């Protein structure tokens, strides 16, 4: 069975500092990997995805993520955090090659950017 782990419930970072939100996954075969962000009282917004190719993926709002196959990780990063980045972040996986597989989401990591 596939699963996604986000080892930190909460990440605090000062505005202007780099941020990292961690994600590791367990799937059979190769996965497609996604990051979403959720602001209060809102649905999830798509940030970026890894399908194939370059291990460093760039997405919306200056976010990027690094795919590491050997460590089965897909950490979300941003060089300089903004207070407005404070939100709940979800990593998700959808296994490759099985048309019927659904998205599996991690538990979420709450990011707080302190002014």
Partner 1 sequence: KAGVTQTPRYLIKTRGQQVTLSCSPISGHRSVSWYQQTPGQGLQFLFEYFSETQRNKGNFPGRFSGRQFSNSRSEMNVSTLELGDSALYLCASSLEPREGLEQYFGPGTRLTVT
The residues binding partner 1 (CB under 8 A) are: 32, 34, 36, 41-46, 49, 51, 90, 94-108
Start-to-end CA distance of the chain, whole Å, equals: 41
Two tokens, residue 85: 């980045």
* Cβ contact 56:74 at 8 Å: no
Q: Which residue, 34 or 75, has its beta carbon nearer to partner 1?
A: 34
Q: Which residue, 36 or 81, has its beta carbon nearer to partner 1?
A: 36
| Rounded least distance, CB 57 to partner 1, Å | 12
Q: Is 60 helix (H, G, I), strand (E, B) or coil?
A: helix
Q: Which residue, 5 or 15, has its beta carbon nearer to partner 1?
A: 5
| Rounded least distance, CB 104 to partner 1, Å | 7
* H-run or E-run covering 95: strand 87-95
Give the integer Cα–Cα distance in Å for 60 and 89.
Answer: 13
| Rounded least distance, CB 14 to partner 1, Å | 27
Q: Which residue, 81 or 90, has its beta carbon nearer to partner 1?
A: 90
| Rounded least distance, CB 6 to partner 1, Å | 10
């Amino acid at each position: 069975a596939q699963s996604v782990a986000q080892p930190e419930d909460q990440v605090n970072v000062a505005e202007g500092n780099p941020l990292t939100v961690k994600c590791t996954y367990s799937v059979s075969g190769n996965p497609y990997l996604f990051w979403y962000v959720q602001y209060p009282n809102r649905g999830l917004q798509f940030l970026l995805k890894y399908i194939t190719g370059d291990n460093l993926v760039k997405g919306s709002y200056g976010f990027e993520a690094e795919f590491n196959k050997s460590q089965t990780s897909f950490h979300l990063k941003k060089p300089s955090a903004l207070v407005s980045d404070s939100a709940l972040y979800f990593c998700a996986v959808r296994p490759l090659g099985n048309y019927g597989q659904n998205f599996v989401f991690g538990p979420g990591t709450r990011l707080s950017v302190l002014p």
